[in-house]
Structure 1
Amino acid sequence: MFKHLFKMIWNKKKQNSLLMVEILLSFMVIFGVFSFAINSYNNYAKPMGINYDKVWAISYNHTLETTNADSVTLVYQTLLRNIKALPLVVDAGYASSNIPFSNNHMSTGFKIKGREISNVNNFFMDENYLKVMGAKMVSGRWYNKADMVSKANVVVINETLKEKVFGKGEALGKLLGSDDDKNKRKVIGIIADIKNDGDYQKAAPGLFNAHDTAAYKWMGKILVKVAPEADANFEGKLYKLMSNTFKNSNIEIEHLDNKLTAYNKFTLVPLIILSIVAAFLIINVALGIFGVLWYNINKRKGEIGLRRAIGAPGNAVSAQLVYEALILATLSLVLGAVFAVQFPLLNVFDLPASVYLLALLFAAIFIYTLVLICSLYPGKQAAAIYPAVALHEE
């Protein structure tokens, strides 16, 4: 039976080729949609790594007129103490501009044992960061006040960077940098991964550096953990405190939960666009399958009537048209799978191989389901053709 079906499809190869191309293109687009969707879901399922609820980010410009380093340090330390003294403030601390969900990145790199480690997120903060953000240490320790004034080169890294540099081995106490690097830093702690780019992006390798007093002039952010009852009135008091300290400064107070919502929407834009394109292609393929099968029914009424006249049941006639559509889909999917398996082999978009394999499976199931649904009704119409009517028309 299948040999006969293949022969019939081959004899109408010009007629079927356009439909096969449409199915192939739809499969590739749906494969891309599923790849992004599965990867986004896998990232979403991982913990955020911080408790961003009721954390406010204050942005400011360094507008102090004094250039004396000690005076500048005193002003910033006094400001932080005043913020912490407010009744609804749980904790607060300085941080560099690349705070979570800010779409601001500072990258660095280093060499270690002849290997080049690049695209590492570089963060600067004080000893309060851990408590303010609710981050967790996996091993080792976080910075203390002694580290803030010490000249020792120490650093905290995240789990992703630890895995990238040291694998399954021990990282605490190890040095980051090449053998001839005079500024090698000692790893004192491993912090749990923080998804700085929102729910749907994975955590990148990260270095968490304790800032020195010279950094006050350029860090530009204060992270404040507030009590649940903090409202707009309290936000106004906080703004007034900042504006009294930094005259003529552009001060902005943002809530991290709102920044996360906005960042997530921005992240999902490519997936939404790709889904819209996929929807148009799916509609096109569905109409194409309907049109081709409907055309076949009208062109093959004599053949169908003859089969019915010699005793072929309606279900067999219907099944033949469904099988033909599924075989066309299979031929397109085989060619599409050849292209799809290149993605994990070539490590395209730097996604895990499991994501591509699952996307390949789901896309194939989706195409088969679509083709089956679109071919059932024309098959039913073919089964309803009466032999006498079909042979009379022929």
Structure 2
Amino acid sequence: MLRHLLKLIWKRKSRNMMLSLEILLAFLVVFAIAAFGLRYWQLFQLPTGHGWKNQWSVSIRAAQDLPNDPILFENIKRSLRDLPEVESVAFSSFGTYEMARWSEDYVLPDGSQQLTVEGMGVSDEYFATMDMRIAQGRFFSSMDDNADAAPTVINRRLADKWFAGKNPIGQIFAVQKRDKTQGQRYRVVGVVEEFRSHGELMDPVYFMLPRWLPGVGRDAANNIMLKVKPGTPRSFETRLNARLKQIRNDWNFVITPQADARASMLKTQTIPLVILAVIASFLLVMVAFGLFGVLWQNTTQRIPEIGLRRALGADAGAIYRQIISEQFLLSSGAMLIALVLLVQLPLTGVFGEVLNWTVFFGAALLSAGVIYLLSLLCSLYPGWRAARLSPTQALHYE
């Protein structure tokens, strides 16, 4: 039976070529949507490494560069800690769930293994404020004062890349300057499993959290992170802003609960997926109309052939199955060609971890399911129409 169906498809190859091309393109688009969605789902399952439910972010907006004044930052911390809703206060270069990013090139002491590492300077209180957990070593604190290298916490990905098979605690690395000389040196004091500043849909990267101290260096912290008591209402924002204005009336403060920032970030990050889904929906509708029309026309042209089969004893169910099976074989051939092209992507690593094998196989299965369902729906009525023809009516059809 399969051999016979393949012969029928091959004899009508000129008619089926354009239909196969439409199915192939539809499969590619659905595959892209499925791959995006599965990668997002995969990323969403990974830990971000920080809390968001009881954390608030305060972004400082000043007309001029912020001064790295230790007295000023100590005043901010003490004043905010006096608020009954606030459990802890910390400072950072920027807030989580923001589009801000900071990265630099780093090397090991011997100048090898240059990597671009993303980072965020944070104060000693940051880890407790953000409900972070240490996986190895410790978080930095006042015991790191006057250290010979700036203490830093790195994520597991960076530790495994640079110090595979070694204990990362105590290891040194340094900034790689443009003239290839080494700048600021850092010492690893702790390792966290993960830290993704952009939240659940951020691709894992090499990340470091170096220690920031008020009054040390020229760069000030532009962000205040607060851990508030559970159930703190949004109306607390008014009191918080008033307290900050008492400290510096010439600054503006953008206050954002991390729950709101997270929701906004997730919405922004899923916009490309929504756009692609809309485009894919229109394409699938066009393919469905084209497929339905071609199947209708093919069925009409093959009425004498169908009548002959009915006259030779084929029942209506056999005719129905033949029409659907032919369409499934045609779809399978188009998808097989598409998969031969697509499998080159994970093999060559063009998209890196974005299109890993788990995502590839999942997207392939989902896409095949969608195309087979589309083929089935489009072939149901033409198959039913062909199956209900009587042998006499079919053989006398002109």
State the Cα deviation string for residues 195-216 of structure 1 (Å, max 9, x = none): 3222222332111111132457
Which residue in the other structure is 2:9 paired with? 9
Q: For residues 222-280 of structure 1, give each alpha carbon's deviation from its aligned partner in whole angstroms, at most 9, with x where no partner exists.
A: 10111124334532222122112223212211111101101001111111111112112
Which of 217, 236, 244 does residue 234 from structure 1 map onto? Answer: 236
Report which of the two has the higher share of helix: 1
CA drift of 1:353 comes to 2.6
Distance 2:217 2:306 in 1: 83
Contact in 1 for aligned 2:62/2:252 (Cα 8 Å): no
Q: How many residues align?
A: 390
1:37 and 1:168 map into 2 onto residues whose CA distance is 35
**SS class of match (1:58):** strand
The 1:272–1:229 alpha-carbon spacing in structure 2 relative to 1, beyond 3 Å, is: closer
Residue deviations 1:353-390 (CA, integer Å, cap 9, x gap):
32112212222232223212322332122111011111
Note the alpha carbon deviations across 1:295-315, whole angstroms, 9 max, x for none: 112111111111111211112
Please name the residue that 1:34 is paired with: 34
Deviation digits for residues 292-347 of structure 1 (CA, Å, limit 9, x no counterpart) = 11111211111111111121111221122112111211110111011110110122
Distance in 1 separating the partners of 2:218 and 2:55: 20
1:136 aligns with 2:133: yes
Aligned residue number for residue 90 of structure 2: 93
Deviation at 1:168, TM superposition (A): 4.9
Q: Is the 8 A contact 1:148 1:211 kept in 2?
A: no
Q: Distance in 1 between matches of 2:237 and 2:271?
A: 32
Q: Distance in 2 between matches of 1:151 and 1:247?
A: 38
Among 159, 163, 182, the residue aligned to 1:162: 159
Does structure 2 retain, via aligned residues, the 8 Å contact 1:109–1:116? no
Task: Identify which range, 73-82 or 331-340, moves more after superposition.
Answer: 73-82
Structure 2: where are the runs of 5+ without partners?
A: none
| Aligned partners of 1:155 and 1:185 also within 8 Å | yes
Among 337, 340, 362, the alignment partner of 1:338 is 340
From the superposition, tell whether residues 335 and 66 of structure 1 become closer, same or farther in structure 2 (CA, over 3 Å): closer
Is the alpha carbon distance of 1:357 and 1:384 closer, same or farther for their aligned partners in structure 2, counting shifts above 3 Å?
same
Counterpart CA distance in 2 for 1:236 and 1:288 is 59
- Give the structure 1 partner of residue 73 of structure 2: 76
Preserved CA contact (<8 Å) 1:127 1:148: no
Shift of 1:149: 5.4
Match of 2:142 in 1: 145
In structure 2, relative to structure 1, the CA distance for the partners of 1:168 and 1:344 (3 Å cut) is farther
Cα distance, 1:88 vs structure 2: 1.4
Contact 1:63 1:246 in 2 (8 A): no
Residue number in structure 1 paired with 2:187? 186
Structure 1: state its 5+ residue gaps.
none
* Counterpart in the other structure of 2:102: 106
C-alpha contact (below 8 Å) 2:61/2:254 kept by paired residues = no
Distance verdict in 2 for CA 1:377–1:250, change over 3 Å: same
TM-score, normalised to structure 1's length?
0.92
The answer to whether the 8 A contact 1:20-1:328 is kept is yes
Q: CA deviation at 1:152?
A: 3.4
- The CA deviation string for residues 16-67 of structure 1, in whole angstroms up to 9 with x for no partner, is 1111011000111111111111111111112232221121111114579998
Matched residue SS, 2:23: helix
**Bigger shift: 299-308 or 133-142?**
299-308
Q: TM-score, normalised by structure 2?
A: 0.91
Identity, in percent, stands at 29
State the Cα distance separating 1:164 from its structure 2 match: 2.4
1:115–1:270 CA distance, 2 compared to 1 (3 A): farther
Q: CA RMSD in A?
A: 2.4
Q: What secondary structure does 1:203 align onto?
A: coil
| Alignment match, 1:118 | 115
From 283, 291, 296, give the equivalent of 2:285: 283
Quote the Cα distance in structure 1 between the aligned partners of 2:162 and 2:100.
24
Distance 2:130 2:338 in 1: 46
User: How far does the alpha carbon of each residue in 1:79-112 deviate from its partner, in whole angstroms, 9 at most, with x for none?
Assistant: 2111112211100011102x21111000112123
Distance 2:92 2:320 in 1: 68
User: Counterpart of 1:293 in 2: which secondary structure?
Assistant: helix
Change (3 A) 1:146 1:173: closer
Superposition deviation, residue 128 in structure 1: 0.4
Tell me, what secondary structure is at the counterpart of 2:396? helix
Distance in 1 (alpha carbons) for counterparts of 2:303 and 2:284 = 28
